[in-house]
Every structure is written in C-alpha cells, then in structure tokens.
Amino acid sequence: MSDTLVPEKVVIIGSGPAGWSAAIYAARAELQPLLFEGAITEENRLSGTLPLGQLALTTEVENYAGFPTGNLAGFLDSSIDKQRRQIMAPHEGRGVSGPELMELMKQQALNFGTRVMTDDIVKVDFSQRPFTLTSLEGKTTQAHTVIIATGARANYLGLESEETFKNMGVSACAVCDGALPRFREKQLVVVGGGDSAVEEADFLTKFAAKVLLVHRRDELRASKIMRQRAVDNEKIEIVWNHQLAEVLGNEQDGVTGARLKSTLDDSEQQVDVTGVFLAIGHTPNTGFLDGQLQTNDKGYVVLPTASRTYTSVEGVYSAGDVSDDYYRQAITSAGAGCMAALDAERYLAAKGL
Ligand code: NAP
C-alpha cells in the first residue's frame, strides 16, 4: 500500500463526491483503488480540508438526485459500518445531510474493496512513470494512474485581524462552529453574497439573535430561491455595499465587533458582534501539485479535452471542484469522478497495465 515495489493501478487523492465516485467505479472495475482521504490535522481543520471534504461541512443536501426529503435513519443504520455510524451525528429526519451523504459514498466505496489512507499527499512526481506520490506521514506510493479530486477550500479576505481571531469568533464554516456558546443569542456577521453566504446566514439564525449579511454590492449573487430565503428570514439583515475592514476584539473575549467600510464612499460603521463568518468563495486545493499539472490563473486544474477528465499529463485525471470553478455541485463532481475512473480504466487497458 505504501513504500510499494508494485505500483498501484489507480490512486485517488481526495474524499469528496468526486473521489468516492471514482473509487466506486475503479473498485468495481477490479482496479483495487487506493484512496487518500486526507489527514486529520489542526491545519486541515482550520482550512476546511479534513476528510470527506466540503460536504461534510454542510447541512441538508436538497439537490442531490435520489435523496428526497424523508427519514433516512433506518437506511443509515443498516448501510453504514456500525463503528462509524456510532460517531456520526444523529439523523434529524429531513432528508440526507452532507456528512451523511459522504459517509454513504465512503461506505459504498469500501464495500467494493477500496483501500483508504487517512493521510495527505503532499508531493507528486509526474515526470517519471510510474508516478511517485509522497504523503504527509512520509510514505511513498507509486501509481500508474492518479485521479486528483482534492476539491477546494473556503477563502478568507486576508486581513490580519481575521487571522488573529480564527478559532476565537472568526470562521468560514457556520455548520462546524455556529452552535458554539459564543454565538448563541448574539449578533453575528456573515460576509458574502452568494449561495454559501445566504446558507450560512440562514443556518446561523438557528442560534444567533441576529445575522448581518455584509455584501459588497447592492444585489446578491445567490440563486433566486436562496435570495428569497434571506429576505424571508426576519433575523437576517442585509448590509448592502459594505466590506469587512477589520475584525475587532481582544485576547480574552475573542471577537467583540467588526468595522464595516462602505464600498460607495469613505464612510464606516462599527457593529457589535461575537462572530464573523466568511463565505466569499473558494480556492482549489492544488498546492501539492507544485506546478506539475497545468492550472489556470485561479489555480484550478485545467482539463484540455472537452468532456474528458484528462489533465496535461497522460495518466493523470482530475474531477470535482479542483478542476471546476463553474458548476461546483456535489452531483457534477460525482459524475466527473465516475468519468475519471472510466478514463483511468481505459488508459490502463490500452497500455496493458
Ligand atoms: P460564489 O457564488 O462565488 O459567491 C461568492 C460571494 O462572495 C459573491 O457574492 C462575491 O461577491 C463575494 N466575494 C468574493 N470575494 C470577495 C471579497 N474579496 N470581498 C467581499 N466579498 C467577496 O461562492 P459560493 O457562495 O461559495 O458558491 C459556490 C458555488 O456553490 C455556487 O455555484 C453556488 O450556487 C453553490 N452553492 C449552492 C448552495 C445551494 O444551492 N444551497 C449552497 C452553497 C453553495 P460578488 O457577488 O460581488 O462577486
């Protein structure tokens, strides 16, 4: 499995919908895939790159085909390995949640024989075949084909004060942190105007007294249904044409306020809040590739051939958010993961590997 003499046929890096779907297809094609699901480290927790990816940080998934609203509790109990099921959050009976969907996909991949390493790939060498991959734990793996499915992570504005108060009221994941006592019955800020920002703001109103949705323009980017959700929620107030300029606080209390700057003039306002949530888009997790695959100006892996998952290196495929800055949906990622496994399978067959 690691430090191998015999190269792996398929190594999959990433454990979101693309990674697990690729694993299901590769395993059923008897390619014995090895999947690196990511390491459980504090750094990964802070950057939102823990195993099971971004969906593990969301709530209900209402748009993944095949999972209408209903009580899935019995299905989850009977399909997921008992030990893992015990440590999952209880099912709340409103259809499938992001973490549940990911656990179901993982289980399906395991059922067909996928081997899973709880480790990050931190270095790749695509200049020689078989390819060489090095993990955070220092293990090396050789592979004839590699599927990159490492997804993307939440962006921050890059303010010094954001960094200072991470873990003390600044977060990019309402679902992970929203229920903490410091946010309950308090006023909070969410920055952004897309679907994520509205989703986070809406979720936070379960706990918060009020959520200020701070958007830099006078129109939300979010879809119509999500825009309506923001308008309908009495606990959400949209602060139009403003940008977060500084997170205010102190060492003892963490976040105590925010300085908001107008994007139309030089005016500023200060608001008392105990939390600041960023929901301003994502960055693909491609740093470990160190320039060995072609990426675009935003860092996304480029797929040069239409309707294929081929990257700039033959035998290396890419699927999901890491190579998609346009659709970015669980279901499109899953479809792309399937395509990547089929592409790898055909390559291996053509090469007689
Ligand atoms: P997004 O659609 O790219 O929206 C990012 C938002 O952040 C935009 O409103 C943008 O403002 C703002 N922003 C970006 N950089 C900023 C900066 N430096 N300062 C202030 N504001 C900044 O990203 P997303 O909301 O994460 O959504 C990503 C994808 O996932 C989308 O396809 C979305 O539909 C999907 N998604 C769907 C759901 C759902 O259906 N329930 C939930 C979450 C995400 P501007 O508008 O001015 O550019």
Q: At what angle do helices 98-111 and 330-351 cross, to 10 degrees?
A: 20
Residue matched to tokens 């899953």: 334
Closest CA to ligand 1's atom 16: 280
Task: Establish whether 176 is a catalytic residue.
Answer: yes
- Please provide residue 225's backbone torsions phi and psi, each rounded to the nearest 5 degrees: -65, -35
Give the Å distance between the CA of 79 and the centre of ligand 1. Answer: 34
What does each C-alpha distance from 79 to 25, 85, 101 come to in angstroms?
19, 9, 12
Pick from 292, 315, 33: nearest CA to 146: 315
* Single-letter amino acid code for the residue at 118: T
What does each C-alpha distance from 295 to 13, 166, 247, 303 come to in angstroms?
17, 29, 33, 9
How, if at all, do strands 131-135 and 140-148 pair? antiparallel
What is the percent of the chain with per-residue pLDDT over 90, rounded to a whole number?
A: 85
Pick from 142, 273, 303, 301: nearest CA to 208: 273
Tens of pLDDT, residue by residue over 292-351, are 999 999 999 999 999 999 999 999 999 999 999 888 889 999 999 999 999 999 999 999
- In a shared domain, residues 164 and 305: no
Residue 12 has pLDDT above 80, yes or no: yes
Phi/psi region, residue 121 (left: phi>0; alpha: psi -120 to 50; beta: rest), is beta
172 lies in some domain: yes
DSSP codes of every residue in 177-227:
HTTSGGGTTSEEEEE--SHHHHHHHHHHTTT-SEEEEE-SSSS--S-HHHH
Structural domains of the chain, count: 2
**Cα dihedral across residues 49, 52, 56, 60: positive or negative:** positive
- In a shared domain, residues 288 and 240: no
- The ligand 1 atom nearest the CA atom of 219: 46
Closest CA to ligand 1's atom 40: 195
2 lies in some domain: no
Task: Establish whether 177 is a catalytic residue.
Answer: yes
Tens of pLDDT, residue by residue over 189-241, are 999 999 999 999 999 999 999 999 999 999 999 999 999 999 999 999 999 99
- In a shared domain, residues 177 and 222: yes
Res 69: pLDDT: 86
| Beta-bridge partners for 187 | 210
pLDDT band at 3; cut points 50, 70, 90: low
Tens of pLDDT, residue by residue over 35-53, are 999 999 998 988 889 999 9
Give the Å distance between the CA of 198 and the centre of ligand 1. Answer: 9
> What CATH number is associated with residue 312?
3.50.50.60
Residue 1 has pLDDT above 70, yes or no: no
Return d(Cα 178, Cα 275) in angstroms, integer: 9
Give the Å distance between the CA of 299 and the centre of ligand 1. Answer: 17
Best of 62, 191, 196, 331 for a ligand 1 pocket test (most atoms within 8 Å of beta carbon): 196
3 lies in some domain: no
268-272 β-sheet, strand order: 242-250, 254-262, 268-272
Parent domain of 262: 160-278
Closest CA to ligand 1's atom 23: 281
The structure's pTM equals 0.82
29 lies in some domain: yes
The first and second tokens of residue 311, run together, are: 């990257």
- In a shared domain, residues 128 and 80: yes
Pocket of ligand 1 (CB under 6 A): 63, 157, 191-197, 199, 216-217, 221, 223, 243, 279-282, 328
Last residue of a domain, one of 254, 278, 302: 278
Best of 216, 223, 329 for a ligand 1 pocket test (most atoms within 8 Å of beta carbon): 216
- The ligand 1 atom nearest the CA atom of 215: 21
**Cα dihedral across residues 310, 311, 316, 320: positive or negative:** negative
Tens of pLDDT, residue by residue over 148-187, are 999 999 899 999 999 899 889 999 888 878 888 999 999 9
- In a shared domain, residues 264 and 297: no
Q: Which three-class secondary structure state does DSSP give residue 278?
A: strand
Res 47: pLDDT: 83
- The ligand 1 atom nearest the CA atom of 155: 15
- In a shared domain, residues 16 and 123: yes
66 lies in some domain: yes
1 lies in some domain: no
- In a shared domain, residues 37 and 117: yes
Residue 249 has pLDDT above 90, yes or no: yes
Last residue of a domain, one of 278, 302, 332: 278
- In a shared domain, residues 315 and 234: no
In Å, the largest CA–CA distance within the chain is 67
Average pLDDT, the chain: 94
- In a shared domain, residues 150 and 88: yes
Give the Å distance between the CA of 191 and the centre of ligand 1. Answer: 10
Closest CA to ligand 1's atom 39: 195
- The ligand 1 atom nearest the CA atom of 154: 26
Res 192: pLDDT: 98
| Beta-bridge partners for 143 | 8, 131
Per DSSP (E only), the strands in 20-62 are 34-36
- In a shared domain, residues 48 and 165: no
- The ligand 1 atom nearest the CA atom of 327: 32
- In a shared domain, residues 259 and 300: no
299 lies in some domain: yes
Please write down the long-range contacts of 293-297, taking CB distance under 8 Å and 24 or more positions apart.
Answer: 293/126, 293/148, 293/318, 296/325
| Beta-bridge partners for 34 | 11, 115
Pick from 141, 145, 166, 151: nearest CA to 102: 151
- In a shared domain, residues 61 and 187: no
Return d(Cα 212, Cα 215) in angstroms, integer: 9
Last residue of a domain, one of 235, 254, 278: 278
DSSP 310: B
> Which one from 81, 119, 120, 177 is the annotated catalytic residue?
177
Which alpha helices (DSSP H) does 48-81 contain, by range? 73-79
211 lies in some domain: yes
